[in-house]
Structures are given as structure tokens and as C-alpha cells.
Amino acid sequence: MSDVPLSPGWWQAGDGRWYPPPPGLTDEMPARAPTPAPDHPPYAFDASEPRPSTPLAPTPPRQRSPRRSLIIAGVAAIVIGALILNIGIAILPHSSKTASSSDSAYQMAVEDLLQSELTNLIFIETFWDGYSNFQDEMKNASNAERKVILERWLSESQTEVDQFQIDLEQIEDDYTARSYKDGSIADSIRDLAMNHYKTWQNWASQIMPIAVDWQKDRTSTLSLYAYVTEVQPALDIAIETTFKALCSTLTTTQPTDGSYAQTITDVCKTS
């Protein structure tokens, strides 16, 4: 493999690297053109992928071998002895830093997050797909048609953003209604999630005025996404920062049995 094609027939894989042609194919086989960079932000996870019917159900515990059970029992005895004699290190506070797969509050917090992220993703995909369709329509349109297309896209986008803001308010209300124990893992996840969606509320309140300025700016050749990141970089930075903080807590506090690992990976794979 190589960063560049070394001869005709080499092909480019999805990882961006170039590979020699498989045996039996001619050297004249054309190389696959690289995929162009998108003009919209990457999506956190694919809403079109089939979701498991019970994504949050804990996995059954594995059978421990007799030797492993004896080791665990021995370690437990040592720990208990250390606590009684007030020697060694304190391990009980450490155990509270990891969620239990049977903790209903933790399960509810993750379920809320999964649903709110799905709502968020549907809006993001719809908004940027609408923008992409608008760009395609504008390419071969006449000046008169361009005005109509532009007005329709701005109107439809504003309607989508208005609905998204309503959804965000509902998400915040749902999170606020949860009565989690102060300082618990579920409480931390809820607070970080609310902070994250407040940054999305700020983004939603500013995206359409920026879009109007973008289409009026005849000197700019940037896509809308690039224009947003240029004139208001703090919008995306705030979203990225709060999302990373949320995912960091999810990752470090998840149950040790791995029952939520795939769900957290799906939500946080772009953080």
C-alpha cells in the first residue's frame, strides 16, 4: 500500500491509501476517484442503521471458572481485612465512579441521551440534505428561477430550525423533570447533556441569519458550512467541546461489564 498510486491499476481504498491491483486484473484498470470532502459536518451516528430492539439491556454475566472465583474471593478477603484494620488504600470511593448496569437511573439517563441524539441527528441530516438539494437546483437555474429556489430553501430551512428549537426545548424539559440523586452518575450525564443541547439552541438561533448573510455575500466562494465556521467559529467549537465532555463522562463511568459499550460508542464515535 502507498499514499500515492505507484503505477496504473492501483486503487484507492476507503482509508485513503492506495493498493496494487488484485492478481488477474490488467494494469489498465482505472483507479477509483477519491471521494470529495463533504460541505457539511460529519454525523454522530447513522440514523438509518437498524437499532437493536433492546439497546440498553445488560449482557448476561459470563461464567467464572472455579480458579477465578477463588482468586476473587481471596482478593475480597484481603480488601475486607484491610478495611477492618484501617490499612492499605480506600477502594470504596473508587467503586462509586462506575455505573452499575442494573442502575435504573443510569439506564434512564443513557436512554434519554440516545433519544435526544437521534432527534438531533434527524434534524442535522434533514437540514444539510436540504442545503445540498438547494445547491444542486441552483447550478443550472436561470436568474429568475434562482430567486424562487433561494426563497423556498430559506423558508423551508427556517421551518425546520423552528421545529428543532421546539424539540430542543422539549429535550431540556424532559431532562429537567428527571429527579436524580445529586452527584450521581446519572445526574452528571443529565447536566452535561443539558449543557450540550444549550449549545445547539444557540446554534439554531443563529444559523438562519448567518445563512441569509451567506447568500448575500457575493465575495464569498465558501459553502454554507465553511462560511459558518469562518464567521462564527465559536458555534461549532462550543458544540464540540460540550459533546466531548459528555462523551468523556459516559466512557469513564460506563459499567465494567460492557453492557452499554456499543451504545456509548455509537453516540460518541465522532467525539
- Measure the CA–CA gap between 116 and 192, rounded to whole angstroms: 13
Q: Does residue 20 fall inside a structural domain?
A: no
Helix, strand and coil content of the chain, in percent to the nearest 5, comes to 60, 0, 40
pLDDT in tens, 11-64: 565 566 665 655 544 444 444 444 444 566 766 555 455 554 444 444 344 444
Q: Does residue 110 fall inside a structural domain?
A: yes
Q: Does residue 155 fall inside a structural domain?
A: yes
Q: Does residue 229 fall inside a structural domain?
A: yes
Q: What CATH number should be reported for the domain holding residue 174? A: 1.20.58
pLDDT in tens, 253-267: 999 999 999 989 988
Q: Does residue 55 fall inside a structural domain?
A: no
Q: Does residue 91 fall inside a structural domain?
A: no
pLDDT in tens, 61-107: 444 444 444 433 443 443 333 333 333 333 333 335 899 989 999 99
Q: Does residue 26 fall inside a structural domain?
A: no
Q: Does residue 30 fall inside a structural domain?
A: no
Closest listed residue to residue 239, CA positions, set 191, 183, 187, 199: 199
- Measure the CA–CA gap between 191 and 181, rounded to whole angstroms: 12
- Structural domain total, the chain: 1
Amino acid 191: pLDDT: 95
Closest listed residue to residue 194, CA positions, set 178, 182, 207: 178
Its domain, for residue 182, covers: 101-268
- The HSE-up count of residue 67 (CA atoms within 13 Å, CB side) is 0
